[in-house]
Structure 1
Amino acid sequence: MTFPDKQTVLDYIRDNPTATTKQAIAKGLRVKGEERNVLRAILKDLESEGVLQRTGKRAWAQADRPPPTGVVEFQRIDKNGDLIGKSVGDNGPFGPDIVYAGPSGKPKAKAPGVGDRALCKISERDGEWRARSITIFEKRLSDRLIGLYSAAPNGGKVAPASRKDRREFLIQEADRNGAKDGDLVIAEPKPQGRRQYGPALGEITEIIGHISDPRSASLLAIHAHDIPTEFPEAALEQARTAVPAAAEREDLTQVPLITIDPADARDHDDAVFAEKLDDGWRVIVAIADVAAYVTEGSPLDKEAYKRGNSTYFPDRVVPMLPFELSADECSLKEGELRRTLAVEMIFGTDGNKRSHRFIRGMMKSAGKLSYEEAQAAIDGKPGGKAGEMLETVLKPLWGAYAALAKARDKRGPLDLDLPERRIRFNEAGEVEGIYTKQRLEAHRLIEEMMIQANVAAAETLERQKSPLIYRVHDTPSDAKIAAFAEFLQTIDLKWHIGERPQTHKFNHLLAETGGGDYDQMVTQMILRTQAQAIYSEENLGHFGLNLVRYAHFTSPIRRYADTIVHRALISALKLGPDGLSKEAASQLEQTAQHISDTERRSMAAEREATDRYLAIFLKDRVGAEFDGRITGVTGSGLFVALAESGADGFIPISSISNDYWVQDEAAMALYARGSGKTYTLGQIVRVKLKEVTPLQGGLLLEMLSDPLPAPEGRKEQRRNMDIGNVPRRKGGPPRSGAPRFNKKTLPKHKRKGKAKGPRR
């Protein structure tokens, strides 16, 4: 037979969703012998194109389409109280939201909760995906509740600190275990006995702080996400004694390498140097030789693996390694002898790299500068150490960066330069203000030199045929691109669906809309279209940086992935006895999954703590008015980011006005039936702060701005969408393609009893 082409393979997978493995697909298409190699190549091509999603070692499904039976990770509880998850593949959770619909077998089987993974039967009905659990194989440590204890006669209650948790525990006097009013606590559920109604009974097992403590926001996030904060004594002892592995080292002490970091940095794990050549530039990026101290299988290594990365809260850092090591022997302190794993790179005047080599050496930092000090010297205001090093060190660095910037601009990475807000605290630890971090050329210089070092690490390990962990950022999926293209049509912009997504196309859109009415709308939608960057033993490339291969090498103090890459380089280049073992190399798939998970955990905890600190900062300003920008549009309301602080608040759809508001998903907008007046993504609005809940980090807002006029190009489509609209039937999702109505906006003649909103 003639071997099927890509479309035949896709058609077969679509028509036979249970045939997920290569063997099943080959059997169904009657592929034998050498043709199996061709099938393997087609499947790999379809995966790289984003058409297929890997769901197992040798299993695939259509991108963004869950398999009929597979692992689901339950991530949150939505506003209607439904448990929501996503299908899990080799690269982590993917695809559409899946609603938990009960157990597949025994009706009284234990239900999964947030954070659980379960093997499920997955099905689709009228556009809504549902999962019925077969086996829960990753249970939470407990059904504990983290929250605020409020005292009452003969006990009290615990209210949840998370907006996603809808439970409350009733605490009897004998079960409060010393907790007082206002304490932040961990409570475990108790047997309910004959109780059938009311809040569940609970027992307080730990007091973690008090609501009045300025540090409470971070404490809640740390405990909610089980982020380890205490190091075992064995790890601390290893950090204090800090005996490095023996290795031959090259002398770099005469090279004037300098560190450029934030002014308040406690450790310095990277240093840079550049010099002009006749036909280009020589650049050295030197990194603290963490692998020499954190040896494989040691107490420090086990603890670093467990944490996966450092977690950065607005008021503190939970480090991956003890400060006794990271701020001492593994910190490239000015004037002190330090071990380093460095890369020397030669660039042409056009910024393209000609060659590179890795060096295990000894160095002495010639200077410690902040970003601001280095930038001020370059800008003509030299002072102190920066002034001394201006001609000999800083100007060559900026000259090399000018060349690298040429190659970067030609490469065309995704150009999303988003403002970064920081929270400022006073000496008492209270929130003093919010400021936008200034983005200096000095930041871009260090960033580009670190990127080049990371690329060199990936290239060397590939050349040596060494296993490694890549930092990958996959191409946007077909489903996300289709939604993006549909959105662009609503503002009279085009995207050719058949073309493979490329960064320069996104950059062209950003340039075309920059400064105009659609500037922020397009920026937000491009962000939503991107895949999540993860770690993987398989190279998928880095879409955002527009790089074919990329690995994390430059921050082994705060990322375990970098430590793995250091060990791989040591083994591949025979730079010492402390490299990556064969056993560890065989476990890289699991390691990559684990550190991707810990990174997501840290990001969620950091975001929660920031939301709480922002709510604390704004709690005394209830009733005040703010400018903001619409950052999210849902069937239940609008999310608005306040311009002054960047804090996110919510405006319920029922509070906007007496109009019947309908969600236009394609245009990311809410519009009023009849008039067509619109609130849309990216729109600048005036809002009033109605309510603040510091415990959950929530802001409730009131809309003050009038909606925009109905867009001319969208009137007809919306009119067609409204024709024949059928509200949700009891127990079923809305008809596919129909606008979504909030229960308070449903026309009276269509209401039957108490209306219920659709599941989200």
Structure 2
Amino acid sequence: MKYTINDFHKKAIEDYHLQNDWPQEVLTETKIIDSKILKDDSYIDLPFVTIDGEDAKDFDDAIFCELIPDGFNLKVAIADVSHYVKENSALDDEAMKRATSTYLPRKVIPMLPEKLSNEVCSLQPNRYRRVLYADILLDKDGHVKSYEFKRAMIKSAARLTYNEVESYLKNGFQKLTSDFKQSLETSYLLFQKLLELRSYRGALELEISEPILKLNSEGTIKSLFSKKRMLAHQLIEEFMLVANVCAANILRKNFSNSVFRNHDYPESLKIDRLSQSLKRRGLNWNGSPEDVNNLPILMDRLKNRPDKSTLHIMVLQSMQRATYESICKGHFGLKFEEYTHFTSPIRRYPDLMVHRLLKSLIDKRAESRSNDALEDWDELLEHCSIKERDSEFASKQVTQSLICSHCKQFKGKSFKGYISGVKDFGLFVDIPELFTTGMLHVSELPSDRYSFNARSQSLDGRRRGNKFIHGDKIEVYIGEIFELEGKISLYY
């Protein structure tokens, strides 16, 4: 049977219970929202710019940066979604259910109707838009000295792409004559300081190859390549991190429970397994469950290794998932004592919750919650974490289904990979060249009596001494392909 990209979309939507249609009440509420936004007294006349991907339409954030006598003034303006999406409205209920926008290849399932996500809330160039912004003062080394959250209205001076900004950062700003030239130059200066601080505090730097699919008109893969990490991506990321940390700080100071983005320390067993896997590759890393803070030392040692990408994935697999919680536990990966999500309320419900809390502080409205309300709050944040995971898995499933279709031409051909997972029934093998993972069933391995060793993450042959260990290199052949499920069986 020949499958299409629409079949892959449909299966992912069903498998992960994604809401793809809007209830009538939501459409009715959306229809009455006025698209015309007139300038008011809160307008700040500064050349903010948005920097996003080529195909982006939901512009959450805009930046402006200037030099001041003792450092920098960074302003991070975020779409004021809560101005339009009122608590307990049909719009809010639906956004809460979805919790996040889902980005599938060639299809977006937005958290908010497009009139809001791509128009009224989107910080389009030369249009008045309502924002909540972080006004941040930093010293000459990039440390935050003070901050304030304010409501305002802005008009973005330009819609820039990552590629454009990358060109400016690498080749200089000489050709720019626009109002925002000085802001971009200053942004780059601050960005360099923030990178130094990131390195100093020991934030993890994982370089994982993400596939970029170029599809033809029929929705099949025309070309497949690795996503390139740009300075422009990092600049925006660092500015958003600063704003998110400031938001977490003010929430922690003013509320006993609110919204935090926590990333716990890795589990002891996973760190032990990672250490064992690295030793088999000649890396005597003295990381222990009691001392995982020296992971940056390990990452530094991996920089020039040809198998760096594989090793980075192994490190990632040893990490826990970040989650949303009502109490602050810190973020292990980023090395922040307090962290939240403030910068993407168009596509993430926790960010919208944060905006409402910040507004209650700006308006000096007390936010008190009963024990029952706190319990509901925790359930909601757990729901947001689950929906985020489902959204991510749905996107990966469609991507892998498309890659599986692409791999049909390679059936019977051999590829080099490495063992990324071990179970009693077989091995998961990552094939970097194809950006996919296949299953090598135990019955396809050389004849032996295999037992699963959980501690060493290996399949051990008890008769002939064959051994297959997590992280080991392996050559496999492409076998049966199950496009709809996004799965590939391998043979040895």
Q: TM-score, normalised by structure 2?
A: 0.91
Quick one: distance in 1 between partners of 2:436 and 2:278? Answer: 27
Output the amino acid matched with 2:401. Answer: R
The structure 1 residue matched to 2:44, chosen from 253, 263, 278, is 253
Q: Is the 8 A contact 1:664 1:671 kept in 2?
A: yes
Among 518, 539, 549, the alignment partner of 2:338 is 549
Matched with 1:282 is 73
**Aligned pairs, number:** 487
| Counterpart Cα distance in 2 of 1:557 and 1:232 | 19
For residues 675 and 280 of structure 1, do their structure 2 counterparts lie closer, same or farther at Cα, with a shift above 3 Å needed? Answer: farther
Structure 1 distance, partners of 2:222, 2:150, is 45
- 3-state SS of 2:433 partner: coil
The answer to whether the 8 A contact 1:564-1:580 is kept is no
Amino acid at match of 1:430: T
String of CA shifts for 1:657-676, please: whole Å, max 9, x gaps: 23445544434344555775
Letter in 2 for 1:685: I
For 1:638-689, what per-residue CA distance to the aligned partner results, in whole angstroms no more than 9, with x for missing partners? 2222222211111122223234455444343445557755443334433221
Structure of greater Rg: 1
The one of 184, 200, 222 equivalent to 1:410 is 200
1:551-630 aligned within 5 A: 551-574=340-363, 582=369, 586=374, 587-630=376-419
> Which of the residues 17, 20, 45 maps onto 1:229?
20
3-state DSSP class of the match of 2:401?
Answer: helix
2:47–2:179: 8 Å Cα contact kept in structure 1? no
**CA separation in 1, counterparts of 2:484 and 2:258?**
42
Residue 445 of structure 1: SS of its match in structure 2? helix
More helix by share: 2
2:230 counterpart residue number = 440
Secondary structure at 2:390 match in 1: helix
1:269 and 1:407 map into 2 onto residues whose CA distance is 25
Equivalent-residue separation in structure 2 for 1:568 and 1:430 (angstroms)? 44
Q: For the Cα contact (< 8 Å) 1:482–1:497, is it kept in 2?
A: yes
The gaps in structure 2 that reach 5 residues or longer are none
Change in Cα spacing, 1:607 to 1:676, as seen in structure 2 (3 Å) is same
Q: Distance in 2 between matches of 1:332 and 1:340?
A: 9
- Within-5 A mapping of 1:462-611: 462-465=252-255, 467-487=257-277, 493-495=284-286, 497=288, 499-502=290-293, 505-516=294-305, 519=308, 522-574=311-363, 582=369, 586=374, 587-611=376-400
Write the deviation string for residues 41-68 of structure 1: whole angstroms up to 9, x where unpaired.
xxxxxxxxxxxxxxxxxxxxxxxxxxxx
Work out the CA distance in 1 between the residues paired with 2:448 and 2:379: 52
Structure 2 CA distance for aligned equivalents of residues 272 and 396 of structure 1: 11
Return the alpha-carbon distance in structure 1 between the equivalents of residues 249 and 268 of structure 2.
Answer: 29
Higher percent of residues as strand: 1
Alignment of 1:80-95 (within 5 A): none
* SS of equivalent to 2:347: coil
Partner Cα distance (2:408, 2:368) in 1:
53
Which of 74, 88, 95 pairs up with 1:297?
88
Q: CA RMSD in A?
A: 2.8
Q: Is the 8 A contact 1:631 1:641 kept in 2?
A: yes
**How many angstroms apart in 2 are the aligned matches of 1:498 and 1:589?**
29
| Aligned counterpart for 1:393 among listed residues 183, 190, 202 | 183
Q: Distance in 1 between matches of 2:479 and 2:177?
A: 51
Query: How much does 1:514 deviate?
Result: 4.1
> CA distance change for structure 1 residues 480 and 622 in 2, over 3 Å: closer, same or farther?
closer
Aligned-partner Cα distance in 2 for 1:646–1:387: 42
Is 662-671 or 326-335 further displaced after alignment? 662-671
Aligned partner of 1:692 in structure 2 is 481
| Aligned AA (2:99) | G
Deviation for aligned residue 1:618: 1.3
Per the TM alignment, residue 431 of structure 1 is displaced from its structure 2 partner at its CA by: 2.5
Equivalent in 201, 206, 215 of residue 6 of structure 2: 215
- Check conservation: 1:422, 1:436, Cα contact below 8 A: yes
d(CA) in 1 for partners of 2:159, 2:85: 25
CA displacement at 1:635 relative to structure 2 = 2.7
In percent, how many aligned pairs have the same letter? 32
Q: Deviations over 1:2-34 (max 9, x none)?
A: xxxxxxxxxxxxxxxxxxxxxxxxxxxxxxxxx
